[in-house]
Amino acid sequence: MGMFTDCILSPGQRSTSLKIESYILAMLPIGHLTSRTDPFDRYCTGNRVLEESYRAVVNDGIRAYQLHTYLGLIQQHFGPEVRRLVHENQIDMLNGVGGMGQTIGKTLELCMLALGTSGLSITTNSGEVEIPPEMNVALLLLLDTPQSPDYVPDPASRPEQIGRIGMDVDWRLAECLIRSREEITDAFVPVLAEINIARHSPCDLQSVEIH
Residues of the chain short of pLDDT 50, as ranges, are 1-10, 12-13, 203-211
Residues 63, 39: contact at Cβ < 8 Å?
A: yes
pTM: 0.82
Distance of alpha carbon 158 from alpha carbon 142, whole angstroms: 10
Residues 151, 143: contact at Cβ < 8 Å?
A: yes
Q: Residues 103, 108, 109, CA angle at the centre, nearest 5°? A: 105
> pLDDT tens-digit profile of 133-146?
999 999 999 999 99
Query: Going by C-beta distance under 8 Å and a sequence separation of 6 or more, which residues neighbour residue 106?
Result: none
Domain ranges of the chain: 11-114+131-199
Query: Going by C-beta distance under 8 Å and a sequence separation of 6 or more, which residues neighbour residue 95?
Result: 101, 102
Averaged confidence pLDDT in the chain: 84
Distance of alpha carbon 191 from alpha carbon 194, whole angstroms: 5
